[in-house]
Amino acid sequence: MFRDTLKIVYNRYLKKITMSSFRHGESLIGILFVTPVVLYFLIFLLYPVLGALYYSFTEWNMRTRPVWVGLWNYKHLLFDRINYPYFWHSLGVTAKYTGIAVPLSFVTALVLALLINAVQRGQDFFKVAFYLPVITAGAAVATMWRWIYDPLYGLLNIGLKAVGLQPQRWLGEPRMIIPALAIISAWQCGFAMIVFLAGLASIPSRLYEAAEIDGAGAWQKFRYITLPMLKPTTFFLLVTGLIAAFQVFDIVYVLFRTGGGTIGGPGQAGLTYVLSLFDHAFRYYEMGIACAMSFILFVIILIVTCLQFRFVPQSYE
């Protein structure tokens, strides 16, 4: 009798309380797991962004208290060519670099992906070998390419001499700087290559088999099957590639600023936007101007990305 009464009480009341406590414990564990990520986002991402937005409306040299100036920083960056002569120049240099580096990296990554995909053995080795430049520190990459581009002892000019071509002053002539930077970007195309390989693996083999039955050659299969089926992959890489190209900094900084070099190379031909932003912040101590430049770059990237979503095909349908 007493045992039956305990069962009734447990089923009606204690069971609900126990399940509620268990669910509450699960929620607490979930909150504990999420808390480090939320704190990281709030402290190291959201707070710096909001702080930079505030400082973009101030005049601040990082030594005294910031002074509110409203839209003064944005106005003078956009229209004052005397005090800020390199704003539009650096934006133009970045646009030229993006226009050359992104297509060159795309083509290089796609060619490498097609070649590796056609290899029967050793695919993993080639994937790792071509992906290594991506995970190598930017300073090390720039130092190595600075030696490769050396006008007297660089490997590239030695190779050009070997085939009877005229050596170039890759980092010594303004017209050669952007192509030289684009070559480095193409050399670091390992991420795009891996993504293209994933896109190639997702293409159904029956499409190629049907094309072969119809008598299609290698070029026809590439043009009418491979390229259309890679549209989602290409769109993703185009968006991320343009964003990364607009923010290029470390390679250019090491190439031209270390060792007592000029700000952006001869004729400021390598003065990219983020390098100019860095100079305003940590060379001229104009942190307000630098923060304003960062948000101008954010708006430019946002507009370019929206245009890509609007006009660039995102699927093979």
Q: What is the DSSP string of 138-183?
A: HHHHHHHHHHHT-TTT-HHHHHHHHTTPPP--TTTSHHHHHHHHHH
Q: What is each CA distance from 158 to 164, 248, 311, in whole angstroms? A: 10, 28, 44
Q: Which CATH number, 1.10.3720.10, 3.40.50.620, 3.60.10.10, 1.10.357.10, labels domain 77-311?
A: 1.10.3720.10
Higher pLDDT, 32 or 222: 222
> Taking residues 232-247, what's their average pLDDT?
93
Query: The tokens of 14 are what?
Result: 């204690």
Inter-residue contact 105 to 241 (CB < 8 Å): yes
pLDDT in tens, 55-93: 999 999 989 999 999 999 999 999 999 989 999 999 999
Phi, psi of 89 (to 5 degrees): -65, -45
Q: Mean pLDDT in the chain?
A: 87
pLDDT value, residue 119? 87
DSSP 59: E
Residue 259 CA to residue 47 CA, distance in Å, equals 35
pLDDT value, residue 16? 52
Name the residue among 146, 192, 186 with its Cα closest to residue 169. Answer: 146
Inter-residue contact 248 to 97 (CB < 8 Å): yes
Query: The tokens of 116 are what?
Result: 């590796």
pLDDT value, residue 32? 80
Name the residue among 18, 22, 25, 20 with its Cα closest to residue 9. Answer: 18
